[in-house]
Structure 1
Amino acid sequence: MTSKRADQRAPTLEQVAEQAGVSRSTVSRVINGVATVDPELRQVVQQAIEATGYVPNLAARSLVTRRTDSVALVVSEADDRDTADPFLNRIFTDPFLGRITAGALEVLRPEGIHLVIMPAEWTAQNHVVRYLRQGHVDGVLLISSHTADPLPRQLCDLNIPAVLSARPGQPLPMSYVDVEQQVGAKLAAEHLLGIGRHRLGTVSGPLDMPSAQDRLNGFRAALAVHGYPYVPSAVGDFTRGSGENATRELLAAHPDIDGLFVANDLMAEGALQALRDLGRRVPEDVAVVGFDDSVAALQCRPQLTTVHQPLEEMAAEMARLLLARISQPEARARSVIFHPRLIRRGSA
């Protein structure tokens, strides 16, 4: 009598090899992702794996390949500046992270690679670095914006494969993906001028971030070309509340502003609230343009005219660059820059 345990024994590597008509070593090479395996042979083995129901032993495989089949999405941020809006609340409610995650998964999931999301406030970065150094992941997709952030340099020094979500604040031999920030700001400036607005102001992001600097400089440079030597500005921190406060500050000092460029959509949503509270109609009294083209732009009333950056495509490219870096650690770092475009809606 055959035991139930024997009947349910898991398929073996040998059974896969017999099904495919190849050697056990060939099956092992396919499972371990060896690049030199003939594509047609690889397909035959994969069909045999599906037919037999074989499940690779990932622990044993990782000993051979030294791979974990997982990467970390690390969100690095300065310590909380506003205790009313703590770091974890910000990153998990900001539409930016959701779009980055979705874009990365489009590339990673078909490769069987897991994504681990890791918040990393600067005071807690030692714990994150320790985790990464211990080899729990194969590489890092790093969201880091502040020039003073020490994490990008640490990852370079430790030779941990990593790709940045934007141009680094300091020159580093690390791949990154970005959008033409100044071009996007120029699109906003030219649109506001094109609809007849001539008393323009802007709410920038934190000026220790290259993206915020580029958007502010691009807006000012575009207006200078058209004869506007001075652009009033106030500084926010890319949150909804900071956009509202900065807009109130800006209009208190310059009540005649009739066009406003806000450096991201969340701050623009706050700006619209401030304008409503101050009795200013949008777009009749003040036209507003944001940046990102996130879900926040569609939630605004009126819906927000904004500069679109293709975050999902950018994140997918980050994932491709990281996989290439993991496969070829000695390959040179690369930058990939995407083009923005203006999306016109009801606010301007």
Structure 2
Amino acid sequence: MSTDTSRLAVTIEEVAAAAGVSRSTVSRVVNGSTAVSPTALEAVQRAIADLNYVPNRAARSLASRQTQAIGLIVPEDTTRFFGDPFFASIVSGINARLNRSDYVLNLFIASDDPGDKTTSYVRSGAVDGAIIVSHHTSDTFIDRIAAAVPVVYGGRPVRERERDYYVDVDNVRGGRDATAHLIERGRRRIGTITGPLTMPAGVDRLQGFREALAAAGLEAGPVEDGGFTADGGADAMRRILDRGDAPDALFVASDLMARGALSVIAAAGLRVPDDIAIIGFDDSPVATSVSPQLTTMRQPSFDQGEHMASILLDLLAGKDPRHVTILDTELVVRDSV
């Protein structure tokens, strides 16, 4: 008996497009859910018949495919991925949630690649869905991935759309609270080392910094981009000191950048916090490995990972989870302020 292998190429996205409904609606119909309108049910059933789609364990359509794999896509280079504790915490949270499911995690570090290889692999049907973390304005390939499989973003998407699912922390409030703490400690010439302004986290933390200063009637001190890396933080600190008018405090938008800044401050013969107070962001292991230990804004990275995985699993099960989840940050006071 011959087998119509053309069925294997049919995806749930094709069924959804033909029926004019969402992917979740098709999944509900295939899985026998009653939470579908009669009109949508008829449209999906007609599309299934027209496309010769037969849900069974052999079919590689999303409603019944058994890859049981989720892709974690990180558009960064390997140095940043393996050197930043933030990613380790995120991955731990994702993996902890997937360990309570039948899914496994595939990691894609999309460096030195405009996304073509990653996109082709994802669109081939190798994974059922994707989590995308640490994306920049230039990472347009993620739009092609989001068109192929369900996606949950770590952080607000750079091109946010109403239908997007993402988990983020309140970066604006985090930047505002950090800067307000410096003001409360009597600091008045306050600068910041930002993350990349091609990333929403970098933009939002800078916004919070500016809001806190404006509320206190203070002018912003030096603003330098440190790229969310230790070397970038060190370079930004050198540029600030080279101006010859060092601030008395800095909000540094990641602990890694703060570590780099601390090394330059010490080399310049300045003391923390006496000459310059420092607040970081993340509360990663870096914060307690430097001297003085960093006052920092804690973001619950492990929880972010768990939430992202849970939302994606809900999508794959045909459920309709909340689109936007925002987690709180928390000031952790140590010795650098």
Question: 1:155: Cα distance to partner?
Answer: 2.1
Compute the displacement of 1:152 (Å): 2.8
For the residue of structure 2 that corresponds to 1:111, the secondary structure is coil
* Amino acid paired to 2:219: P
2: CA distance between counterparts of 1:272 and 1:75? 28
Q: Which moved more, 1:170-179 or 1:144-153?
A: 144-153
3-state secondary structure, aligned to 2:100? helix
TM-score (norm 2): 0.79
> How much does 1:257 deviate?
1.0
3-state SS, counterpart of residue 123 of structure 1: coil
Q: Are 1:156 and 1:174, in contact at CA under 8 Å, matched by a contact in 2?
A: no
Structure of greater Rg: 1
Give distance in 2, aligned partners of 1:156 and 1:163: 9
Partners of 1:62 and 1:68 within 8 A in 2: no
1:200 equivalent in structure 2? 190
1:345 aligns with 2:337: no
Name the residue aligned to 2:170: 180
1:62 Cα offset (Å)? 6.1
Q: Give yes or no for contact 2:135–2:157 (8 Å, CA) kept in 1.
A: yes
Please tell me whether the aligned partners of residues 228 and 257 of structure 2 are also in contact (alpha carbons under 8 angstroms). Answer: yes
Q: Matches of residues 73-84 of structure 1 in structure 2 within 5 Å?
A: 73-77=72-76
Contact 2:297 2:330 in 1 (8 A): yes
- Residue 135 in 1 paired to residue 131 in 2? no
Q: 1:35 to 1:319 in 2, by over 3 A?
A: farther
The partner residue of 1:302 within 289, 292, 302 is 292
Say if 1:70 and 1:62 are closer, same or farther in 2 by CA, change over 3 A.
farther
Listed as ranges, the matches of 1:1-348 within 5 Å are 63=59, 65-77=64-76, 87-121=77-111, 123-158=113-148, 160-172=149-161, 173-328=163-318, 331=320, 334-348=323-337
Indicate conservation of the 8 Å contact 1:145/1:211, yes or no.
no
Alpha-carbon contact 2:233-2:256 (below 8 Å) kept? yes
Distance 2:325 2:143 in 1: 20
Secondary structure of the structure 2 residue equivalent to 1:164: strand
Shift of 1:256: 3.6
- Distance in 2 separating the partners of 1:222 and 1:294: 24
1:193 and 1:62 map into 2 onto residues whose CA distance is 63
The separation in 2 between residues aligned to 1:150 and 1:286, in whole angstroms, is 39
**1:72: how far off?**
1.0
1:303 is paired with a residue whose SS is coil
Q: How far, CA to CA, are the matches of 1:90 and 1:164 in structure 2?
A: 19
Q: Deviation of residue 66 (structure 1)? A: 0.7
Letter in 1 for 2:194: S
Q: What are the superposed Cα offsets for residues 131-176 of structure 1, whole Å, 9 maximum, x if unpaired?
A: 1111111111111331221133112322x11100010111232200
Which residue identity does 2:326 align to in structure 1?
A: I
For residue 125 of structure 1, report the CA deviation from its aligned partner. 1.1
| Residues 97 and 310, structure 2, Cα contact 8 Å, conserved in 1 | yes
Q: CA offsets per residue over residues 108-146 of structure 1, 9 Å max, x none?
A: 011132111111126341111111111111111111331
User: How many Å separate the matches in 1 of 2:249 and 2:212?
Assistant: 14
Q: Which residue matches 1:3?
A: none
Taking the aligned partners of 2:321 and 2:304, their CA distance within structure 1 comes to 19
Q: Displacement, 1:254?
A: 4.9
The normalised TM-score by structure 1 is 0.77
The CA deviation at 1:190 is 1.1
- Alignment deviations for residues 9-39 of structure 1 (CA, whole Å, 9 cap, x no partner): xxxxxxxxxxxxxxxxxxxxxxxxx899xxx
Tell me how many residue pairs correspond in the alignment: 281
Gap regions ≥5 residues in structure 2? 1-30, 34-55
- 1-side partners of 2:249 and 2:157: how far apart? 31
Q: Percent identity?
A: 37
How many angstroms apart in 2 are the aligned matches of 1:272 and 1:139? 40
SS in 2 for 1:346: coil
In 2, Cα distance between equivalents of 1:219 and 1:254: 22
Deviation at 1:211, TM superposition (A): 0.8
Q: Which amino acid aligns with 1:67?
A: Q
Contact 1:244 1:273 in 2 (8 A): yes
Q: Closer, same or farther in 2 for the Cα pair 1:62/1:109, shift >3 Å?
A: farther
After superposition, the CA RMSD in angstroms is 1.9
Greater mean alpha carbon deviation, residues 120-129 or residues 225-234: 120-129
Contact kept? 1:190, 1:222, Cα under 8 Å: yes
**1:254–1:245 CA distance, 2 compared to 1 (3 A):** same
Question: Is 2:193–2:233's contact at 8 Å kept on the other side of the alignment?
Answer: yes
